[in-house]
Amino acid sequence: MQPFAIAPSILSADFARLGEEVDKVLAAGADIVHFDVMDNHYVPNLTIGPMVCTALRRYGITAPIDVHLMVKPVDRIIGDFLDAGASYITFHPEASEHIDRSLQLIKDGGARAGLVFNPGTPLDCLKYVMDKLDMVLLMSVNPGFGGQKFIPRTLDKLREARALIDASGHAIRLEIDGGVNVKNIAEIAAAGADTFVAGSAIFGQPDYKAVIDAMRAELAR
């Protein structure tokens, strides 16, 4: 298990003031900036690309940026995010023609690599690429939008992923994304997650620090 990390999803931030929003959420105690990339093809929504990641780095953000690619195809955008200063790059296995190759592209570029599993996608391919992974991300909603409800069945899948990661002996983060809030974060941690994405639960409140402190208090229970 990796140390707990809170990763606010900037999908729910005010894009007109993105640099300030990221500064504010980091000052409030966030560990990682979760950066959702949607292409209106793999998922039915369109968000931000590598230029925005570059802009955040130029603005002075030094915290890890966790780029969650919801795009298809995957490979041709990886290089741009490596150049843009991504720390983690994760993608959905069904969006890549060659999963092992895409992971290697990320690793060769010096970023940390991860796979993302939708609620209905089995973890089957995990065991074949475990040695190339720094992160496993389980979606607890169907990807494409913030503000959806956590799918409870994900808790069993988290336990399954936790067992596979522990058995591998590798230092791999187990991240959860979708519908995470102060009320359910303790149960999600108990099921094996160590990295928590939260968009609407944090950016939907005026006091980001109050939410992050409350999440940490739940994690310390």
- Site residues, ligand DX5 (CB under 6 A): 9, 11-12, 34, 36, 68, 141, 143-144, 146-148, 177-180, 197-201
Residue 182 interacting entry, from ligand DX5, Zn ion, none, C-beta within 5 to 8 Å by type: none
Instruction: Return the DSSP state at 118.
Output: -
Residue in 70, 216, 219 with CA at minimum distance from that of residue 142 = 70
Within 90-109, which residues bind Zn ion (CB under 5 A)? none
Long-range contacts of 49-54 (CB under 8 A, 24+ apart): 49/77, 49/80, 50/77, 50/80, 50/81, 50/83, 50/84, 51/84, 52/18, 53/81, 53/84, 53/85, 53/86, 54/83, 54/84, 54/85
- If DSSP codes are grouped into helix, strand and coil, which group holds residue 210? helix
Which residue, chain included where needed, has tokens 């089995």? 122
**68 forms part of the interface with Zn ion (CB under 5 A):** yes
Dig out the tokens for 153 from the structure.
């069945």
Q: Which of 39, 134, 177, 194 is catalytic?
A: 177
Distance CA 93, CA 30 (A): 28
**Shortest spacing between CB 18 and ligand DX5, in angstroms:** 14
Q: Which of 14, 36, 80, 100 is catalytic?
A: 36
Residue 118 interacting entry, from Zn ion, ligand DX5, none, C-beta within 5 to 8 Å by type: none
Residue 97 exposed, middle or buried by CB count within 10 Å (0-12, 13-18, 19+): exposed
Pick the closer one to Zn ion by CB: 33 or 103: 33
User: What is the x/- site pattern for Zn ion, positions 17-56, by CB under 5 A?
Assistant: -------------------x--------------------
Q: Is 177 a catalytic residue?
A: yes
Pick the closer one to Zn ion by CB: 38 or 212: 38
Residue in 159, 151, 217, 161 with CA at minimum distance from that of residue 191 = 159
Residue list for the binding site for a divalent metal cation: 34, 36, 68, 177
Within 144-183, which residues bind Zn ion (CB under 5 A)? 177
Distance CA 215, CA 221 (A): 10
Q: Is 66 a catalytic residue?
A: no
Residue 178 interacting entry, from Zn ion, ligand DX5, none, C-beta within 5 to 8 Å by type: ligand DX5
Instruction: Return the DSSP state at 150.
Output: P
* Residue of minimal Cβ distance to ligand DX5: 199
Residue 180 interacting entry, from Zn ion, ligand DX5, none, C-beta within 5 to 8 Å by type: ligand DX5
The residues that are catalytic are 36, 177
- Residues at the contact surface with Zn ion, assessed by CB under 5 A: 36, 68, 177
